[in-house]
C-alpha cells in the first residue's frame, strides 16, 4: 500500500497477512500486524489495521505504536489521516519525548503533525484525568526551585560548579494542550507539583521557551522551604511566575491577592514577591489595582 499525500508518502513495509477488497471508492485493505513507514520519519505498527485507499485513512487496532522523530506514542487503538498528518488515539494513551523523558497520559489524544501549513506539532489530551511530566533543562548547581526565605552565607570562596541538570513538573488536569516544546496549557482543576512546591488553578499556561507560568482563577501556590521549614502560601485570582533557568525570579498575585507566611500575612489587589538566587528578598503590595 503506497499513497502520495502532499509531501508525505507512507508505505506498508511488512505485514503478516493482508486482503484487499475493491469498492466504488477504491480499495479497502485489511492488514494483520502492519508495519508502516513514511518519508517524514513517521513509523506505525499495530496488531491489525484497515486502510481506505480513497481517503488515505488508517484504522489501527491493538498495541498501537506511533513514532516520529524523538517521540513515541502507545495506545489501544488509533486512526491516522495520512494526508493531513492527523492522529487520533484512544485507550491507555501515553506520549513520551524520548530525548528528555517528559510524557503525557490520558484516554484520548489528538495529534496534528508539523507540516507546511503548521509550524509545530499540536497535541490535545483529554479523558481519564490527563497527567503530564514536563522535564526542563537548566544550567545550575541545584534543581530545587523552591523559594528560600533565608539562607546562610557561604563559607567557601569557590563558586559552585555549573552543570546541566533537569527539573520536572508533574501536572494533572481535565485537558492538556501542547504546542511544540514551547507552550504547555492545562484546563480544569489544574494541579502542579515540583518537589516541595505545589500550585493550583482552574487553568494554566506555561511558556516554556521564556520560562513564564500563569495560573488562572482560584490560583494558589504552596511551598515549604526544606532548609528553614518556613511555609509560603500565595493566593489570587491570577498568579504569574517568572522562571528563568527554572528558578523563581518573581511571583505576582493579581486580584484578591493573599500572602501567608510564618511571620507575615498580607492582603491587597496585587502582591509581588521578588527573589534573588531563590531567596525571598522583597514583598510589594499595591493597594489599588
The answer to whether residues 48 and 62 touch, using CB atoms and an 8 Å cutoff, is yes
248: cell is: 523563581
User: For position 145, what pLDDT does the model report?
Assistant: 46
User: For position 153, what pLDDT does the model report?
Assistant: 36
User: For position 165, what pLDDT does the model report?
Assistant: 54
The answer to whether residues 134 and 168 touch, using CB atoms and an 8 Å cutoff, is yes
Q: What is the DSSP letter of 118?
A: B
Task: Show the low-confidence residues of the chain (pLDDT under 50).
Answer: 1-6, 139-157, 159-163
User: For position 155, what pLDDT does the model report?
Assistant: 37
pTM (two decimals): 0.85
User: For position 203, what pLDDT does the model report?
Assistant: 99
For residue 213, CA distances in Å to 62, 75, 78, 140, 253 come to: 38, 30, 32, 20, 12
Specify the residue for cell string 479497502.
Answer: 28
CA atoms within 13 A on the CB side of 121: 20
Domains annotated on the chain, with CATH: 1-115 (2.60.450.10), 129-154+161-289 (2.60.450.10)
* Tens digits of residue pLDDT in 80-98: 999 889 999 999 999 999 9
User: For position 226, what pLDDT does the model report?
Assistant: 62
The backbone torsions φ and ψ at residue 250, rounded to the nearest 5 degrees and listed phi first, read -155, 140
Torsion from C-alpha of 274, 280, 283, 289, nearest 10 degrees: 50
Q: How far apart are CA 183 and CA 185, in angstroms?
A: 7
Amino acid at each position: 500500500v503506497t499513497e502520495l499525500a502532499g509531501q508525505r508518502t507512507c508505505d506498508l513495509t511488512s505485514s503478516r497477512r493482508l486482503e484487499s477488497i475493491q469498492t466504488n471508492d477504491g480499495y479497502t485493505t485489511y492488514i494483520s500486524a502492519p508495519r508502516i513507514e513514511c518519508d517524514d520519519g513517521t513509523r506505525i505498527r499495530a496488531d491489525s489495521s484497515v486502510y481506505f485507499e480513497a481517503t488515505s485513512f488508517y484504522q489501527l487496532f491493538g498495541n498501537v505504536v506511533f513514532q516520529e522523530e524523538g517521540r513515541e506514542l502507545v495506545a489501544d487503538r488509533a486512526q491516522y489521516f495520512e494526508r493531513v498528518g492527523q492522529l487520533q488515539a484512544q485507550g491507555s494513551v501515553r506520549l513520551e519525548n524520548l530525548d528528555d523523558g517528559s510524557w503525557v497520559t490520558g484516554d484520548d489524544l489528538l495529534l496534528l503533525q508539523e507540516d507546511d501549513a503548521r509550524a509545530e506539532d499540536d497535541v490535545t489530551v483529554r479523558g481519564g484525568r490527563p497527567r503530564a511530566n514536563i522535564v526542563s533543562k537548566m544550567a545550575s548547581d541545584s534543581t530545587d526551585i523552591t523559594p528560600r526565605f533565608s539562607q546562610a552565607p557561604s563559607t567557601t570562596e569557590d563558586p559552585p560548579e555549573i552543570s546541566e541538570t533537569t527539573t520536572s513538573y508533574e501536572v494533572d488536569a481535565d485537558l492538556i494542550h501542547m504546542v511544540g516544546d514551547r507552550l504547555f496549557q492545562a484546563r480544569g482543576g489544574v494541579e502542579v507539583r515540583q518537589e516541595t512546591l505545589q500550585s493550583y488553578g482552574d487553568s494554566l499556561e506555561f511558556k516554556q521557551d521564556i520560562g513564564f507560568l500563569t495560573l488562572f482563577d482560584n490560583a494558589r501556590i504552596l511551598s515549604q522551604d526544606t532548609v528553614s521549614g518556613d511555609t509560603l502560601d500565595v493566593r489570587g485570582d491570577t498568579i504569574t511566575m517568572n522562571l528563568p533557568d527554572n528558578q523563581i525570579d518573581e511571583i505576582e498575585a493579581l486580584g484578591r491577592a493573599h500572602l501567608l507566611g510564618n511571620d507575615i500575612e498580607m492582603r491587597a489587589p496585587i502582591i509581588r514577591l521578588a527573589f534573588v538566587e531563590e531567596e525571598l528578598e522583597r514583598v510589594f503590595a499595591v493597594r489599588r489595582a
